[in-house]
Protein backbone atom coordinates (compact mmCIF):
# COMPACT_ATOMS: atom_id res chain seq x y z
CA UNK A 1 0.00 0.00 0.00
CA UNK A 2 1.42 3.39 -1.00
CA UNK A 3 1.12 6.27 1.42
CA UNK A 4 1.33 9.89 0.31
CA UNK A 5 2.79 12.45 2.71
CA UNK A 6 0.42 15.31 3.52
CA UNK A 7 1.07 18.53 1.65
CA UNK A 8 2.53 21.41 3.64
CA UNK A 9 0.96 24.08 1.51
CA UNK A 10 -1.72 24.47 -1.09
CA UNK A 11 -1.38 28.03 -2.35
CA UNK A 12 -4.03 29.20 0.11
CA UNK A 13 -1.90 30.63 2.88
CA UNK A 14 -0.22 27.35 3.80
CA UNK A 15 3.54 27.52 4.37
CA UNK A 16 6.04 26.71 1.64
CA UNK A 17 9.28 25.00 2.64
CA UNK A 18 12.60 24.57 0.88
CA UNK A 19 13.90 21.01 0.97
CA UNK A 20 17.00 19.04 0.05
CA UNK A 21 17.23 15.30 -0.46
CA UNK A 22 20.79 14.20 0.28
CA UNK A 23 22.68 10.93 -0.01
CA UNK A 24 25.87 10.31 1.98
CA UNK A 25 28.50 7.62 2.21
CA UNK A 26 29.16 7.60 5.97
CA UNK A 27 32.43 5.85 6.87
CA UNK A 28 32.58 6.62 10.62
CA UNK A 29 29.19 6.31 12.37
CA UNK A 30 30.47 7.60 15.75
CA UNK A 31 31.97 10.77 14.29
CA UNK A 32 28.88 11.30 12.13
CA UNK A 33 26.69 11.04 15.26
CA UNK A 34 28.84 13.77 16.85
CA UNK A 35 28.33 15.90 13.73
CA UNK A 36 24.55 15.46 13.90
CA UNK A 37 24.53 16.30 17.63
CA UNK A 38 26.51 19.47 16.97
CA UNK A 39 24.67 20.66 13.89
CA UNK A 40 21.09 19.92 14.90
CA UNK A 41 20.68 22.92 17.27
CA UNK A 42 22.16 25.18 14.57
CA UNK A 43 19.75 23.73 12.00
CA UNK A 44 16.82 24.28 14.36
CA UNK A 45 17.95 27.86 14.98
CA UNK A 46 17.34 28.51 11.26
CA UNK A 47 13.92 26.85 11.46
CA UNK A 48 15.20 23.71 9.75
CA UNK A 49 14.95 20.04 10.53
CA UNK A 50 15.04 16.49 9.22
CA UNK A 51 11.81 15.28 7.59
CA UNK A 52 13.13 11.82 6.80
CA UNK A 53 16.35 9.94 7.63
CA UNK A 54 17.30 6.48 6.33
CA UNK A 55 20.23 4.12 6.60
CA UNK A 56 20.47 2.37 3.23
CA UNK A 57 21.70 -1.21 2.86
CA UNK A 58 21.77 -1.42 -0.95
CA UNK A 59 21.77 1.09 -3.79
CA UNK A 60 20.18 -0.28 -6.96
CA UNK A 61 20.94 2.64 -9.30
CA UNK A 62 23.33 5.53 -8.92
CA UNK A 63 23.99 7.87 -11.86
CA UNK A 64 26.99 9.54 -10.22
CA UNK A 65 28.72 6.37 -9.01
CA UNK A 66 29.21 7.55 -5.42
CA UNK A 67 28.39 5.07 -2.68
CA UNK A 68 25.34 5.99 -0.58
CA UNK A 69 24.45 4.42 2.76
CA UNK A 70 22.48 7.31 4.29
CA UNK A 71 19.62 9.32 2.75
CA UNK A 72 17.69 12.16 4.37
CA UNK A 73 15.45 15.11 3.61
CA UNK A 74 16.37 18.45 5.17
CA UNK A 75 13.71 21.14 5.33
CA UNK A 76 14.05 24.89 5.83
CA UNK A 77 11.43 27.64 5.94
CA UNK A 78 12.93 29.04 2.69
CA UNK A 79 16.04 28.99 0.49
CA UNK A 80 17.60 31.92 2.34
CA UNK A 81 17.46 30.03 5.66
CA UNK A 82 19.25 27.11 3.97
CA UNK A 83 21.96 29.44 2.67
CA UNK A 84 22.40 31.06 6.11
CA UNK A 85 22.69 27.67 7.78
CA UNK A 86 25.38 26.33 5.44
CA UNK A 87 27.35 29.62 5.62
CA UNK A 88 27.19 29.90 9.44
CA UNK A 89 30.67 29.87 11.00
CA UNK A 90 29.52 27.68 13.91
CA UNK A 91 28.14 25.15 11.43
CA UNK A 92 31.33 25.25 9.35
CA UNK A 93 33.42 24.50 12.46
CA UNK A 94 31.22 21.50 13.36
CA UNK A 95 31.37 20.32 9.75
CA UNK A 96 35.15 20.53 9.62
CA UNK A 97 35.63 18.71 12.92
CA UNK A 98 33.06 15.90 12.57
CA UNK A 99 31.51 15.71 9.09
CA UNK A 100 34.57 15.86 6.88
CA UNK A 101 36.38 12.91 8.51
CA UNK A 102 33.19 10.82 8.79
CA UNK A 103 31.71 11.17 5.29
CA UNK A 104 33.45 9.95 2.12
CA UNK A 105 30.89 11.25 -0.40
CA UNK A 106 27.92 13.62 -0.65
CA UNK A 107 25.29 13.41 -3.37
CA UNK A 108 22.62 16.11 -3.56
CA UNK A 109 19.70 14.16 -5.02
CA UNK A 110 17.27 17.10 -5.22
CA UNK A 111 16.52 20.63 -4.01
CA UNK A 112 13.04 22.06 -4.32
CA UNK A 113 10.29 24.22 -2.86
CA UNK A 114 7.50 22.18 -1.34
CA UNK A 115 4.06 23.73 -1.03
Tell whether the torsion through CA atoms of 81, 73, 96 and 38 is positive or negative: positive
Question: What local confidence, expressed as pLDDT, does residue 71 receive?
Answer: 98
pTM listed for this prediction: 0.84
pLDDT along the chain (115 residues), means of 10: 45 77 98 98 97 93 92 97 98 98 97 92
Provide the domain count of the chain: 1
Q: Which domain holds residue 78?
A: 17-111
The Cα–Cα gap between 66 and 68 comes to 6
CA distances from 34 to 7, 29, 96, 97, 107 (A): 32, 9, 12, 9, 21
In a domain, 30, yes or no: yes
The Cα–Cα gap between 113 and 31 comes to 31
CATH number at residue 62: 3.30.70.100
In a domain, 7, yes or no: no
Question: What local confidence, expressed as pLDDT, does residue 10 receive?
Answer: 44
The Cα–Cα gap between 87 and 80 comes to 11
In a domain, 78, yes or no: yes
Amino acid sequence: MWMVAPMLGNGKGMPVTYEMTVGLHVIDEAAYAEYRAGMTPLLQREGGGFRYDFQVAQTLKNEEGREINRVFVLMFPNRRAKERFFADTEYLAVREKWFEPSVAAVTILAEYERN
